[in-house]
Amino acid sequence: MESALTMYTYDQMVQDIEILQAKYPELITVDSLTDTPDGRKIWHLIIGSPEAEEHFLVTGSIHAREYMSTQLVMKQTVKFLENKDSYVEALKNKAIHVVPMINPDGVSISSWE
């Protein structure tokens, strides 16, 4: 019996990051902090200027079964970027660092598949 719930996977997150990078190249910078022991990248998005005076950090999926927190962080990031005009003033000299999946290996091994 299939569950009605679906897991937000590492691969889905990577696809979503690529879409955001293509759609908002002037607003976000995307890089990888490091590679995991299983060869996955820990993705890092910066909204705003990397040289900003103030920095904020948003993270998700620190523990293996926390895949849902990545989905929430990604949805919040999308909403923020979609409504960027509302935040232009607030982002002056500020940067938001988003690491949506700190533990991609743990999320991947806890998959329901």
In a domain, 5, yes or no: no
Handedness of CA 63, 67, 69, 70 (dihedral sign): positive
In a domain, 53, yes or no: yes
In a domain, 1, yes or no: no
CB contact set of 80 (below 8 Å; sequence gap of 6+):
47, 87, 96
CATH code at 42?
A: 3.40.630.10
- Count of domains in the chain? 1
pLDDT category of residue 10 using cuts at 50, 70 and 90: very high
Q: 29-77 pLDDT, tens per residue?
A: 999 999 999 999 999 999 988 999 999 999 999 988 888 899 999 999 9
Residue 1 pLDDT: 34
As a whole number of angstroms, the distance between CA 107 and CA 113 comes to: 12
Domain encompassing residue 91: 10-109
